[in-house]
Chain A
């Protein structure tokens, strides 16, 4: 399967702990996006990369959130000192330029 891969699929963590998610985009896709989706809502933009450069970060992303794409391939999203409000599905997508975005299966985070 050469689609977008996200790990882990599910993560349960205690409030205050740090978590890190990984996204492997479709190879040769230069753009990578992170979105957050809560039940009954559309995906909310968090940040995106063009190759290894993080070009924009949403105001939704507090300073507890950080994302990297060190070699322009896979990306990680870290949440420090998790809060219950961080519970959501975290979606990664990749695209080649302005063409359609392909989404991964997402990582479902539950903060207890």
Chain B
């Protein structure tokens, strides 16, 4: 069974940094693109970042470019999101999601999400 378990959520002050993690199991992690998608409280979905199987290609939404870095460790079956220069508008539930194989950038498995709040 595919499982994606996020961790690292919590409360951080504006301007601070945090790293989110996603532990993957139940599939060959190194064969899939992976993404982070977020959802601000009471709002819609927003794609944040995406990374290729070997980490050689990364894409970001404009609002996080230069502040967030997506990475992965295929030996540890883990996905990461390093978030710097945090702003109140980064407050959201952050989901780790697996890109459906061979179908383009859509997500067929999601984690349960981790809530991350930026506030003083």
Q: Are A and B physically bound partners? A: no
Q: A residues bordering B, Cβ < 8 Å?
A: none
